[in-house]
Amino acid sequence: MEAFLEEFADLIASKVSDILINQKKEINQSSKKETILLTTKEASKYFGKHINTIRNWIKEGELPSKKIGNSLYVIIKEEKNEK
């Protein structure tokens, strides 16, 4: 019975270790992206589109955005430049 419990404990420890390693990999991959907030005017220049197109994309849910105070910002995720 004791051997079974030791083997079971080792199996659980191995599974927990695998889960933690996978979570760390996911965190590292997501941290490779940088979040940039752009005003709608800046976003229109960034995408080369008219500001009304940017506003329509936001209304339609095609562009993620965040309202801070009275200002609306477009959320851009870009790959970080590794130095």
Q: Where are the domains of the chain?
A: 1-31, 33-83
CATH number of this structure's domain 33-83: 1.10.10
pTM over 0.85: no
Tell me what pLDDT residue 33 has.
74
Question: What are 24-44's pLDDT values in tens digits?
Answer: 777 666 666 788 899 999 999
* 26 vs 58: which has the higher pLDDT: 58
CA distances for 43 relative to 14, 28, 47, 72, 76, angstroms? 47, 27, 6, 11, 9
Query: For residue 32, which phi and psi values (nearest 5 degrees)?
Result: -80, -5
